[in-house]
Structure 1
Amino acid sequence: MLAIVLALAAGWAGYWFIGSSAVKSGVADWFEDRRAEGWTAEYGALSVAGFPNRFDTTLDAVALEDPASGLGWRAPFIQIMALSYRPNHVIVIWPETQSFTDRGRAMTLDSTDMRASLVVAPSTALAPERVALTAEGLSLRPEGAALSEALSASSLRLAAERVEGAEARYHLGLAAADVAPAASLLAQIEGGGDLPRVIDSITADITADFTAPWDRAAIEAARPQPTRIEIIGMAMAWGGMALDAAGTLEVDAGGMPSGTLTLTARGWRDMLDAAEASSLLTSDMATTAERALTMMSGGQDTLEMPLRFGEGRVWIGPLPIAPAPVLRLQ
């Protein structure tokens, strides 16, 4: 019996050391491949610990930047932890401060606790099956800017799951609480009004189809692009204003959406004032829109209306109210 126990222990120890070596060399090879493609891909140290039941990988002084998209990320460390007997389920932990760049514009992201759970398909493509990210005390601001210029939230929950039976369809969820815009943006939106400093909540429940599955190629090569977005429910509560949206948009190859969203807006006059103050609407457009919306709502503070996307614009009935957003992922 002792001999059997010792043999099993030795076999497990051998498996762990072989597995940890494979993890370490796999990470190092991935960074080397990115450098060969012209990326900035650096780290100061790489270690794997957690014997005997986990592979806990830590990279220090990490820097990644894709020259094609102009997106970059730097952090003092990142930890990726997995059970040695279930290596396709990992926990990722980020530091309290990290930085991002977008075509030369640098941003600093602070948080008190940011981590994610990721389950990938057991293949070399590493296609995510389920992802859940949680973060507390988030603050995103331009590098070097004052804290008052940060976009912040007390908590953030993100979740994504691949829809079974569909190669590139995902169910996405978002919940953010106590979202505070930058002080300068809030002052611009207020336009002399008195909006609350904090947006109470933002939530979303969405199913999206993409041109390709999200896997390692989405990072190494090209990002999959949305082709269809079904908004099951999207809501925002901000003081006396509340906005709900539902509907389906088709997205063409250029990222232009078409379709209809049904909006239910409480406090729509305040929203119109905010859109005009922030220059999303001209004064003439805001005046025309207010007349039309007053008729549609019957003079009430709550309004339900279809918002149509087409011809590169957003429409309320026959009125174009804004350019349509371009839905392209860099």
Structure 2
Amino acid sequence: MRFLLAVIVIAASGWSGYWFIGQSGLNRGFAAWFESRRADGWVAEASDITVQGFPNRFDTGFTDLVLADPETGLAWEAEFFQILALSYQPNHLIAVWPDQQLIATPQEKFLVESEDMRASLRIAPDTRLAPERATLTAEFLQITPEARPDEATALTSLTLAAERQQETEYRLGLSAEGLTLAAPWQARLDPQGRLPRQISGLHADLTVRFDRVWDRSAVEDARPQPTEIKLKLADAKWGQLHLQAAGEVTVTPEGWPEGEITLKARNWRDMLRIAAETGAVPESMLGTLENGFSLMAQMSGNPETLDVPLTFRNGRIQLGPIPIGPAPVLRLR
């Protein structure tokens, strides 16, 4: 009995020592990281950093957190932010956001409001801290331009997931329900008010290859850039409209996509009419396009469903035979 008691006391003392050493290491590590960011010209401040959770958790809390990168012009402010981890599995983290936070871009500032916004993150057990798997969820999310408080965009639920497949290849997933667009966007996309206020569902499954691994240097130095995108399926439903997409594009060093995405549009005539109402398609071309697309739809076997390629080439976009305009530049700031 004495021997067993001695073993328990020694084990408890050893575990306590491990926890307090870990706590001290986390405090020093975060303090050094903030100091290093300030040395690089960042704004990196927190009024308080605490590590709690003895004996089985390392729960780090940041109060009045402000981070701003002068090179990209991006900034983030949060009243509090938490990083939670089990002391015996420190590479599996849970991040918890506050109900309100402020994100600034070079163009404007946005108020982000959410309910139960958190992320699960499993990182490689080394000093690079490269994410292996991550999932972010929110029961409610609303983004409002600070200068235009009446132009909020909101979601009833959001799930984002990422998993590293190979060294620089990541599988990404998106599920968004109940997307309510800001009033100007709603009016721009549906000027006649034909569609419901909410986009009922938006889902995507894709694989993206980057020019290097996502790790701590992505925050400290520069973001990895996409080089190849394989879209397994994107699916969006808005009222009676249903749009799906799949295909592959490569991304040039300048950020231009090159390749083809196949679009499948159900009730495509309604989409075409709405595109004409928004000015995306000239009224003078509406009849010609409807006749041409109708022939393409009949060839596919279902006159109400249209399969048409969206082609990216030489910095331009083309929908079937129709030039759309310049392609987006796919560069991460």
Is the structural similarity TM-score above 0.5? yes
Distance 1:305 1:3 in 2: 75
Question: What is the number of residues matched between the two proteins?
Answer: 327
Letter in 1 for 2:163: E
Say whether residues 1:262 and 2:262 are aligned partners.
yes
Say whether residues 1:316 and 2:325 are aligned partners.
no
State how 1:131-280 maps to structure 2 within 5 Å.
131-146=134-149, 148-163=150-165, 166-280=166-280
Say whether residues 1:117 and 2:117 are aligned partners.
no
Distance 1:273 1:179 in 2: 22
Distance 2:119 2:280 in 1: 35
How far the C-alpha of 1:287 sits from its partner, in A, is: 5.9
SS of residue in 1 equivalent to 2:156: strand
Asked whether the 8 Å contact 1:280–1:322 carries over to 2, the reply is: no
SS of residue in 2 equivalent to 1:192: coil
Distance 2:28 2:278 in 1: 51
Say whether residues 1:30 and 2:29 are aligned partners.
no
Say whether residues 1:82 and 2:85 are aligned partners.
yes
SS of residue in 2 equivalent to 1:157: strand
Once the two structures are overlaid, the 10-residue window that deviates more, 81-90 or 266-275, is 266-275
C-alpha distance 274-325 of structure 1, shift in aligned 2 (>3 A): farther
Say whether residues 1:127 and 2:138 are aligned partners.
no
How far the C-alpha of 1:326 sits from its partner, in A, is: 1.2
How far the C-alpha of 1:205 sits from its partner, in A, is: 0.4
How far the C-alpha of 1:144 sits from its partner, in A, is: 4.6
Distance 1:113 1:290 in 2: 46
How far the C-alpha of 1:5 sits from its partner, in A, is: 1.0
Asked whether the 8 Å contact 2:175–2:201 carries over to 1, the reply is: yes
Once the two structures are overlaid, the 10-residue window that deviates more, 94-103 or 190-199, is 190-199
Distance 2:327 2:286 in 1: 17
**TM-score scaled by structure 2?**
0.94
Residue 302 of structure 1 corresponds to which residue in structure 2? 305
Distance 2:279 2:98 in 1: 37
The unaligned stretches of length 5 or more in structure 1 are none
Distance 2:321 2:224 in 1: 33
Aligned partner of 1:21 among 24, 27, 32: 24
Asked whether the 8 Å contact 1:92–1:117 carries over to 2, the reply is: yes
How far the C-alpha of 1:25 sits from its partner, in A, is: 1.1
Asked whether the 8 Å contact 2:109–2:147 carries over to 1, the reply is: no
Distance 2:49 2:275 in 1: 49
How far the C-alpha of 1:322 sits from its partner, in A, is: 2.7
Once the two structures are overlaid, the 10-residue window that deviates more, 185-194 or 81-90, is 185-194
Asked whether the 8 Å contact 2:19–2:54 carries over to 1, the reply is: yes
SS of residue in 2 equivalent to 1:304: strand
How far the C-alpha of 1:284 sits from its partner, in A, is: 5.0
Once the two structures are overlaid, the 10-residue window that deviates more, 314-323 or 84-93, is 314-323
Distance 2:29 2:323 in 1: 52
**TM-score scaled by structure 1?**
0.95
Distance 1:31 1:281 in 2: 51
Distance 2:225 2:272 in 1: 31
Once the two structures are overlaid, the 10-residue window that deviates more, 43-52 or 3-12, is 3-12
SS of residue in 2 equivalent to 1:22: helix
Q: Output the aligned Cα RMSD.
A: 1.6
Residue 13 of structure 2 corresponds to which residue in structure 1? 10
C-alpha distance 276-124 of structure 1, shift in aligned 2 (>3 A): farther
Asked whether the 8 Å contact 1:120–1:127 carries over to 2, the reply is: yes
Identity of aligned residues (%): 48
How far the C-alpha of 1:286 sits from its partner, in A, is: 5.5
